[in-house]
Amino acid sequence: MSQPSRIAIDGPAASGKSTIGELLAEQLHYVYFDTGVMYRAVTWAALQRGIDLADEKAVTDLAERIHIEVTQPTVADGRQYTVYADGEDITWQIRRPEVDHGVSPVSAYPGVRAALTAQQRRIGQAGRIVMVGRDIGTVVMPDADLKIYLDASVEERARRRYREIRDRGEPADYDHILRDMRRRDRIDSERETAPLRPAKDAVIIDTTAMAVPEVLTEVKRWVHQSDP
């Protein structure tokens, strides 16, 4: 039995997919690629340039011309990767609340998704990769060797995001985060282009009551028994 070369991990915000994806890629000696940072980078850039996020054409034009680069961490400050937009390190800026609030509408634009999906597919074709996002198993890599869908209750996901923000030393309001997360779930699930949903052949894992090591063990179990 051979090991899957292309692994897709999908799920809603704060379901644990980035954490698990990074750990899994590290243990398999694979490339780790979180596609969500590309949509966050476009959102951040639009906000910085004063572009109305409701202006679909302007945001799409930006997505088509901005140069986004994701590399291994360049600073030892807890980051999983370093994200550049037109050469500027925006790794932590894309995690700010205003980006959290705006990224789902931006990622729902067909033109934005088309511009970024093409690049994601090229990266995935090389293999030996763990790719994380919301439409990897359904759109970006529908022929992935293994598809994992991580989920958790919205309340638990909001608590995780609250702790993440507080751990960075920034102010956070749990109720606001919970409301915004419910809003994001609705937008992501109801958008016409690449809605958030598990692939038909995905392994679904509910992480609500699971610690990170437990989730990783379960995912690795599927990796070792998968036969691409």
Separation of alpha carbons 215 and 186, rounded Å: 25
pTM, full prediction: 0.83
Measured distance CA(188)–CA(190) in Å, rounded = 6
Coil, strand or helix at 146: strand
d(C-alpha 136, C-alpha 141), whole Å:
5
CA gap 157, 16 in Å, rounded: 8
Q: Judge whether 10 and 147 are in contact, CB under 8 Å.
A: yes
Domains of the chain with bracketed CATH: 6-225 (3.40.50.300)
Give the Å distances, CA to CA, from 93 to 9, 22, 123, 167: 24, 20, 24, 15
Helices 97-107, 174-190: crossing angle, 10 deg rounding: 10
Question: Which residue type is seen at 190?
Answer: E
Residue 194 has, within 13 A of its CA and on its CB side, a CA count of 25
Structure tokens at 180: 């915004």
- Distance between CA atoms of 202 and 150, rounded to whole angstroms? 10
Sites in the chain below the pLDDT cut of 70: 1, 226-228
User: In this structure, what token pair is assigned to residue 2?
Assistant: 């051979």
For 210, residues 6+ apart whose C-beta sits below 8 A from its C-beta are: 218
Q: What is the DSSP string of 92-129?
A: TGGGSHHHHHHHHHHHT-HHHHHHHHHHHHHHHTT-SE
Q: Among candidates 85, 77, 72, 87, which has minimal Cα distance to 39? A: 85
pLDDT digits (tens, 9 = 90+) for 164-223: 999 989 899 999 999 999 999 999 999 888 899 999 999 999 999 999 999 999 999 999
Return d(Cα 18, Cα 156) in angstroms, integer.
16
As beta bridge partners, residue 204 has 149
